[in-house]
Structure 1
Amino acid sequence: MNPHDRALSQAAARGDESAVRAALAAGARVDARDEDLRTPLLRAALADHVGVARLLLAAGADPNAPDARADSPWLVTGVTGGVRMMRTLLAAGADLRQPNRFGGTALVPAAERGHTAYVRALLAESDIDVDHVNRLGWTALLEAVILGDGGPRHEEVVRLLLAAGADPERGDQDGVTPHAHAVRRGFTGIARLLGPEVRAAAGRTS
């Protein structure tokens, strides 16, 4: 990286809006890549620096630019759970179908991590596919059960996904349903949410 690009990347990572403006004015490239192919916007998104993200987007930054790990500014919002950053990038043209290295959309890691506010906002404010299947054969609902801790946050994520139309009968690659996974893991609250009456109701409305 040249010195101006490096200054921009570092300023974005630490959330220094004045330094970002100065670097851009000095000729830094808004989508310059570091050694891991991360753009300044990706580094800002990782640290949830919304003000910096807005500056970079106004200068033409790409919310979907992937790095060496197939992460992008948009995709990492599902990891961090940053609702304001999610809304900022969504308004800037984020690709809802963009896959991460596991083949999942931003909703999938958010469900896994129990980011309830993020999941609620993303489902309400976009038309993201609630039943998207990643390379492991898992939907957001399956990830919330298989990789979650069974606690209140993951219970709420399950409620939100079901309310948004997630299919409680869609199993993993072996045909094991979210309900069966919840029972196996001893997640009684989630198992109750995914019980036979829920699946029957889903069948009646399909």
Structure 2
Amino acid sequence: MADDLITAARQGDIAAITAQIAAGADLEARDAEGATALLVATHANNIEAARLLIEAGADVNAKDAIADSPYLYAGARGHLEILKLTLTHGADLTSTNRYGGTALIPAAERGHVETVATLIAAGVAVDHVNRLGWTALLEAIILGDGGPRHVAIVKLLLDAGADPNLADGDKVSPLTHARNRGFTDMVQLLQRAGGR
């Protein structure tokens, strides 16, 4: 029955998910990768399947074999509707992915502006440092493309109080990274925020 729920979640089969929940299927059963039905639905950005599972009590923080949870994955991928559902159903804002980063860091790196704004508003720590020695601000600069989305994210992070001088593990500041990459809009934002 648990396999049926995971299969239904993978396929986005709302009728089957509803029937499985009604029949008492184990919401926390795992597939071979350690993913729950909710994480499988989140992978596919199947909003209605995720909503059904979350409202039935599925754990939004249940991690798979590579330390992804529905909350972390939705944040990293910019699956905004599912992310908002996880935030209203007990998402652990301090939980971290396999790189030791919060949901905010990959969201910033990938240019998901609304997701970054949502995570900041939810209270995710803006200056969290992952195992690579990078914050969300550093990832937006180092791994971003310097375009309008990443510039908007840098502004959101700075406006939320991100430390413009919190350097990476090699002691290279956000401002230096932005200058080295020729990201003039980011340079200006960082300088206005007191970046050195």
With the length of structure 2 as denominator, give the TM-score of the two structures.
Answer: 0.95
1:16 aligns with 2:13: yes
1:188 Cα offset (Å): 1.6
Equivalence for 1:165 = 161
1:58 aligns with 2:58: no
1:25 Cα offset (Å): 3.0
Structure 1 unaligned regions, length at least 5? none
RMSD of aligned residue pairs (Cα, Å): 1.4
1:174 aligns with 2:170: yes
Matched residue SS, 1:194: helix
1:176 Cα offset (Å): 0.6
With the length of structure 1 as denominator, give the TM-score of the two structures.
Answer: 0.91
Structure 2 unaligned regions, length at least 5? none
Task: Write the distance in 2 (CA, Å) between the matches of 1:78 and 1:52.
Answer: 17
Task: Write the distance in 2 (CA, Å) between the matches of 1:116 and 1:60.
Answer: 29
Equivalence for 1:198 = 193
Q: How many correspondences in the alignment? A: 196
The one-letter amino acid of 1:119's match is V
| Percent identical | 54
Task: Write the distance in 1 (CA, Å) between the matches of 2:105 and 2:11.
Answer: 27
Matched residue SS, 1:31: coil
- Match for residue 77 of structure 2 among 56, 80, 83: 80
1:91 aligns with 2:102: no
Q: Is the 8 A contact 2:63 2:69 kept in 1?
A: yes
- Match for residue 116 of structure 1 among 109, 113, 116: 113
The one-letter amino acid of 2:189's match is L
1:71 aligns with 2:68: yes
